């Protein structure tokens, strides 16, 4: 077979794909789409993405404005980098933007999009949110696990990763088990858990290009890899649920969140299935010196800080807010998907587009913050309105339901702060 007989059909096929791509994008684009930049057929702007993505989007916003559009493959993305437009998203358009993007990871890690973070805005999601607010993340539930949080911080070495502290805190509250560092009951189970969690975070923390260009999935096997990890994760979670079910039958439960959810399952077995249960399942010495002085004054040099004491430590709370402003855990908030056509920042956004709010530049906007790149906790001390301008856990009805737990575990953790500020004091 000569090369010409192969070349012509190949060129014809490529030309057909280009035409289909242009036709598809022209149908999807509204008349008043937010500013964008030239894109390539089929892949859109995928070739332009740079890490870290939130900084790359910030650079684009400086050129194209606080609301701009990108095509990742054929998927339209609308990126918001303005506090005023972000407020519009979570007030005027809060219900419209209450859906989530359906990623491959959500399918295999989120029990086919049925967890609170992956579910569409629906009665099912409202039920999950209610369970989380009342049964899991309420103040009374979190207060019941104060001893666990205190114990985990007291075990912490300052040189260790806070990640281990956080995951141990969460797993002891959820399942009554430690999986990191000392006093692990089953080392093989703990090692398997750590490996699966690491793989899950690695795959779930960033969207793979195969999500937007399916041809890459055909050759790279991305979904196959995600599905394999999802099965491992499900196996571990099912093992925990079964173990606690046996303990409950033996009247030997430990009062963990899994035990509480199993109690709910008895009252409504049709709703509280195993799937539902599994799915729920410092370089500034002057700042530290001031915080230490506040602790010595309010709490006393010889006393340890306890959680109720945190409300007295206003400067300490300001430090946490300033840290969350400059270094939010999620610089890009989780994607929102409009259920119908809407308007954002004066631009048309079609239903099914993906809306991203870039919190990183919003937290550093010179129009909203004085000296925005400097670490200045004092900005929060005498102005409560400042704290409402940051969004470390998102905003609106799809804001993180576990923000209260996150604040206690990773926020002004009194025992960790006490160790950090008083270390070396004689």
What is the rounded distance in angstroms from the CA atom of residue 112 to the CA atom of residue 91? 29
Annotated binding residues for heme, written as ranges, equal 400
The fold of the 22-422 domain, in CATH, is: Cytochrome p450 (1.10.630)
What is the reported pLDDT for 277?
52
List Cβ neighbours of 121 (8 Å cut-off, separation of 6 or more).
95, 98, 99, 339, 397, 398
Q: Are the C-beta atoms of 77 and 198 separated by less than 8 Å?
A: no
Residue recorded with tokens 């493959």: 73
What is the reported pLDDT for 153?
61
What is the reported pLDDT for 157?
45
Q: What is the pLDDT along the chain (426 residues), one digit of tens a residue?
A: 455 555 545 555 555 555 555 554 545 566 799 999 999 988 999 999 998 999 999 999 999 999 999 999 989 999 999 999 999 999 999 999 999 999 988 899 888 999 988 999 999 999 989 888 877 777 777 777 777 766 666 565 443 455 566 666 667 767 777 766 666 677 788 788 878 888 887 777 666 788 888 777 777 788 899 999 999 888 888 888 888 888 888 777 766 777 777 777 776 666 556 565 566 554 565 776 787 788 778 887 666 666 677 778 888 888 878 888 988 878 999 999 999 999 999 999 999 999 999 999 999 999 999 999 988 889 998 777 888 899 988 999 999 887 777 666 554 455 455 554 544 443
Domain boundaries, the chain: 22-422
What is the reported pLDDT for 172?
72
Annotated binding residues, written as ranges, equal 400
What is the rounded distance in angstroms from the CA atom of residue 169 to the CA atom of residue 176? 9
What is the reported pLDDT for 281?
56
Q: Are the C-beta atoms of 99 and 121 separated by less than 8 Å?
A: yes
What is the rounded distance in angstroms from the CA atom of residue 263 to the CA atom of residue 277? 11
Read off the pTM: 0.73
What is the reported pLDDT for 198?
80
């Amino acid at each position: 077979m000569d090369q010409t007989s192969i070349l012509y059909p190949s060129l014809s096929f490529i030309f057909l794909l280009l035409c289909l791509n242009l036709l598809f994008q022209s149908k999807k684009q509204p008349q008043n789409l937010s500013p964008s930049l030239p894109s390539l057929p089929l892949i859109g702007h995928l070739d332009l993405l740079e890490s870290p993505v939130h900084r790359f989007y910030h650079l684009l916003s400086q050129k194209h404005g606080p609301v701009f559009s990108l095509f990742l493959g054929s998927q339209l993305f609308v990126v918001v980098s303005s506090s005023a437009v972000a407020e519009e998203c979570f007030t005027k358009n809060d219900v419209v933007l209450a859906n989530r993007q359906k990623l491959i990871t959500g399918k295999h890690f989120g029990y086919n999009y049925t967890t609170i973070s992956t579910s569409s805005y629906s009665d099912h999601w409202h039920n999950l949110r209610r369970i989380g607010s009342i049964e899991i993340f309420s103040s009374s539930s979190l207060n019941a696990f104060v001893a666990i949080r205190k114990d985990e911080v007291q075990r912490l070495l300052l040189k260790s990763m806070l990640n281990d502290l956080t995951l141990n805190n969460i797993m002891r509250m959820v399942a009554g088990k430690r999986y990191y560092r000392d006093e692990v009951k089953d080392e093989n189970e703990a090692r398997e858990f750590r490996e699966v969690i690491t793989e899950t975070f690695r795959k779930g923390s960033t969207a793979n290009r195969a999500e937007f260009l399916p041809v890459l999935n055909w050759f790279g096997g991305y979904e196959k890899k995600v599905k394999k990890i999802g099965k491992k994760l499900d196996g571990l979670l099912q093992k925990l649920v079964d173990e606690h079910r046996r303990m409950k039958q033996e009247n030997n439960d430990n009062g963990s969140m899994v035990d509480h959810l199993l109690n709910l399952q008895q009252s409504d077995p049709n709703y509280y299935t195993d799937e539902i249960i599994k799915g729920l399942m410092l370089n500034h010495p002057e700042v530290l010196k001031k915080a230490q002085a506040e602790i010595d004054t309010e709490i006393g040099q010889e006393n340890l800080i306890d959680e109720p004491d945190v409300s007295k430590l206003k400067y300490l709370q300001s430090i946490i807010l300033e840290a969350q402003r400059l270094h939010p855990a999620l610089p890009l908030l989780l994607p929102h998907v409009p259920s119908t056509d809407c308007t954002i920042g004066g631009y048309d956004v079609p239903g099914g587009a993906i809306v991203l709010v870039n919190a990183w530049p919003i937290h550093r906007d010179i129009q909203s913050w004085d000296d925005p790149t400097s670490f200045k906790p004092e900005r929060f001390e005498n102005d409560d309105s400042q704290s409402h301008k940051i969004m470390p856990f998102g905003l609106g009805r799809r804001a993180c339901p576990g923000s209260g737990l996150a604040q206690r575990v990773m926020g002004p953790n009194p025992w960790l702060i006490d160790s950090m500020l008083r270390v070396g004091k004689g």
